[in-house]
Structure 1
Amino acid sequence: MKYPLIFCLFGLAIISACNNPKNGTNNTESTDSTTHAKAELNKTFYKRLEGTIAGKKVVMHLQKVDDDVSGTYYYDGSWLNLSTDTLIGKDSLVLTEYSFYESYFTQDFKSPHLALKWNGNGFNGNWESGDKTKKFPIVLAEKYPDGSYPLNAGIYKDSVKAFAHQPKSPAAEISFEYLESKNQDEYGNWLNTELKKISGVKLPADRSTGFKNIATAYFKDYKTQATEQSKTSRGEDFQAWLNYTNNSQQSVSYNDNGYVVIDFLADAYTGGAHGNYSSIMFCLDVKNKKQLVLSDIVKIDSNTLQGILERNIRKEYNIKTKDALSTVLFDDFIKPNNNFYFNANGIAFMYNPYEVASYAQGQIVVFVPYTDLKTYLVPTFAQRMGIK
């Protein structure tokens, strides 16, 4: 997944709630992600990158909206997450590499960094460990082989004051970071429709209209709540809890072999000690124009899959055989859910805060390599993915 726990506060409520543009203007931005003529980075982009880090073949998905860069990459296993550390001029950036497991379970963990310079067709740079004892070269090129899809990234955002005539009024903010297909053929159009639906846009509306409609409903509800609280609360202390936020982000976890896997990350703050956040994973079979369900990938009974999940969560979260799973989870078991996604190496199951563990643990991700599932993989899926 795509983003450090500490800066992602996301809630599923955004799917059915919320959203409008600043002072009635359209703040939608989108740019061409495949322009290589200039050796400088666009303000907004999505890039699918292939290359090597420390000589290992990697696939990276990177997107930038304004001054926020996020993404993931993988080589022989699960995803490593990337977020902005520093932007340098118009062609260079430093990213922080984030792993759910190491940062939470390793005391005094220091995140590695990737220093990247855009050359017009890709990035060159270096990967450096958090303790600065290791440094490896990075060579990446932007590529879209057959079965992958070029995308544009964009953002729509707006805000409204709770009390219009108060100079220091609390406010509600809303934003949609979205992806759109560049291709205009039948597959690109189908993908674009699915991406709009994931963001909550009611068809046949375009994104700008859809986002504005969602924002209008959100702001109407917000102002109603603010007015009610102002009638029942004394003093102005209550206003500190009225700076609401409602944000969503679409990002790519996989983009190959006719599949596009989207992480829809949503967060909301509606007062209280902290907000909440969650990811819903959408596995889109663009080639066949359908959303995958788990049985399209593996044919396996839930008890067998549960056992495989429990073995892998022990490995990933370093839970010894003699220790109960409840040292990390609420319970001494973990059941498969429908919030799954995949890459070239295996399938992952995403569990959002409070689903199987406390808020402090954040999202629990259990990655299962295809080697653990070989006898259960659906042959057509295995063939398309090149799994032998």
Structure 2
Amino acid sequence: MSFLSQSRPARLLRLLPAPLALGLLLTACNSGSDKSAAETSETVAATAPTVALTDSASWYQQFRGVLPGSTDSITVHLQRVNEVPGENTLGRLVGFYAAADGHPYELTGDVSPATDSLRLRDTSHELLNEQNVGPQWLLKQEGGALVGTRAGQPVRLRLLRQPVGVRLSTRTFAAAVLPRPESPQDSVFGQISMFALVPESGASKDKLAANLARGLRGDSLESKPALSLDALWDEQLAYFTKEYRKEVAPMVSKVLADSTDDYQPLATLSYEQEANTYVLWNEGDLLSIGYFGYDFSGGAHGIYGTYVRSYDTRTGRALGFNDIFKPGTRPQLEGILGRYARPALGLKDGASMAGKLFKNSLPATRNVYLTSGGAVFVYLPYEVASYAQGEISVFVPYSALQAVLKPGLPISGGQAVARN
């Protein structure tokens, strides 16, 4: 079906650098072209409108409030991805929140139109309890605010009428593919979806939009022409359709032809591939994006991961590892990561990381993005730990990175902000 489907995920992701492994995953997840695909589009205006957050539309909104028991204001970025039936690794709500220190805390969840509510969970490792469960948010929309509780304590988030950072519109593509088009009665079908963000503001919005499309496709070279989102969807759906039918159609025919076997594992033939674009940071001249890919091609569970990239919105330029860090500083970075990985893993200072990771150390992945307060290093499932550990994100403040950062980054006038 795909390169990832034919390889042992643990071995593959351990052998490849994180961005390359995710590029392969996204290439597998982005596959096709079919005009019967459902498509929606919604734009975030210069002044954010009040929209019904529990309806079926996709959206990206920003809110501000104060966490229970704290005096620090936080900004919450939330996205709604259109419903796609089937097994999904993440919920239909994704986002993050951060205070003035620039440390992002990840959120995932879903919406309940029946109760007109949003249900979220903190998923950052440092906030999980012994059962690996984070605090729950239960929110209802009241006009331009979200009102409810976090971990049972009251919380109120107000909609930012003037969003910070880049204004973004959302586009969603989805399609179902029959393995045997001549047999429309089949209950088995594959599903592919793509969620994209499109810049709607800034002098370099066209270049930024082209780079976001490249990232969604898994292309890393800006010199290569970027496909439009429609052309990208056409390409990806066509590939998915071809490969799914080539692999699954014979298996469906074989299973249905064998009337002597009561066990017919048709559900395992309902493959899914998903490619989504998520906001990881959006403030000032800095936009950081996560390109999430998910591939289920049978088996116990699917493969997923997030390739991350930051962008200088003044120029639209992508900022990779070599654009952020000085040459030859990887050994220093690995020493720094060793200090900050433990709290991210829920460990005490000095504790061995071997119980959480494959080794008692953490390499400096090239899969890294920036916030206003530091850098976040993202590790895929199987890359440094078991699948059960999920993705691992380690935040390192700029105060610890001053010696290894390149000048001219789109943070605090081009210089990293020293934060404790």
Which residue is equivalent to 1:53? 67
1:179 pairs with 174, 197, 210, which one?
197
Change (3 A) 1:371 1:186: closer
Which residue is equivalent to 2:108? 83
Which amino acid is 1:189 matched to? D
Tell me how far 1:357 sits from its aligned partner: 0.4
CA contact (8 A) 1:154 1:179 kept: yes
Change (3 A) 1:220 1:88: closer
Which amino acid is 1:199 matched to? L
Which residue is equivalent to 1:226? 248
Tell me how far 1:19 sits from its aligned partner: 2.9
Which residue is equivalent to 1:141? 160
| Identity value in percent | 22
Which residue is equivalent to 1:338? 366
Change (3 A) 1:158 1:307: same
Which aligned pairs between 1:28-177 and structure 2 lie closer than 5 A?
28-34=39-45, 36=48, 38=50, 40-41=52-53, 43-54=57-68, 55-66=71-82, 68-75=92-99, 76=101, 78-88=103-113, 93-101=117-125, 106-107=130-131, 109=133, 111-117=135-141, 119-120=143-144, 123-129=145-151, 132=152, 134-145=153-164, 148-164=165-181, 165=183, 167-177=185-195
Change (3 A) 1:295 1:209: closer
Which amino acid is 2:270 matched to? N
Which amino acid is 2:306 matched to? S
Moved more, 37-46 or 24-33: 37-46
1:207 and 2:219 are equivalent in the alignment = no
Which amino acid is 1:180 matched to? V
The alignment partner of 2:282 has SS state of strand
Aligned residues: 369
Tell me how far 1:345 sits from its aligned partner: 2.1
TM-score of the superposed pair, with normalisation by structure 2: 0.78
Which amino acid is 2:43 matched to? D
Per-residue deviation, residues 165-191 of structure 1 (Å, max 9, x unmatched)? 1623421110001111123x6411111
2:212 pairs with 192, 195, 199, which one?
195
Change (3 A) 1:89 1:306: same
Which amino acid is 1:387 matched to? V
The alignment partner of 1:327 has SS state of coil
Which amino acid is 2:163 matched to? Y
- 2:97 and 2:332 map into 1 onto residues whose CA distance is 29
Which residue is equivalent to 1:348? 376
Which residue is equivalent to 1:266? 293
Tell me how far 1:30 sits from its aligned partner: 1.0
Tell me how far 1:282 sits from its aligned partner: 1.2
Which residue is equivalent to 2:341? 313
- 1:216 and 1:159 map into 2 onto residues whose CA distance is 12
1:288 and 2:315 are equivalent in the alignment = yes
Which residue is equivalent to 1:242? 269
CA contact (8 A) 1:20 1:158 kept: no
CA contact (8 A) 1:298 1:378 kept: yes
CA contact (8 A) 1:53 1:139 kept: no
Tell me how far 1:327 sits from its aligned partner: 0.9
- 2:111 and 2:386 map into 1 onto residues whose CA distance is 31
Change (3 A) 1:199 1:377: closer
Change (3 A) 1:142 1:251: farther
Tell me how far 1:356 sits from its aligned partner: 0.3
- 1:252 and 1:321 map into 2 onto residues whose CA distance is 31
Tell me how far 1:104 sits from its aligned partner: 5.5
Which residue is equivalent to 1:325? 353
Q: Which runs of 4+ in 1 moved over 6 A?
A: 231-234
Tell me how far 1:195 sits from its aligned partner: 1.6
- 1:329 and 1:243 map into 2 onto residues whose CA distance is 32
CA contact (8 A) 2:378 2:392 kept: yes
Which amino acid is 2:285 matched to? G
Which residue is equivalent to 2:8? none
- 2:63 and 2:154 map into 1 onto residues whose CA distance is 20
Change (3 A) 1:331 1:141: same
Q: Which sections of structure 2, spanning at least 5 residues, go unmatched?
A: 1-20, 84-91, 219-223
Q: Which sections of structure 1, spanning at least 5 residues, go unmatched?
A: 1-9
Which residue is equivalent to 1:6? none
Per-residue deviation, residues 306-358 of structure 1 (Å, max 9, x unmatched)? 11111111222243456432111001211101100121221110000110001
Tell me how far 1:288 sits from its aligned partner: 2.6
Which amino acid is 2:363 matched to? K
Change (3 A) 1:137 1:51: closer
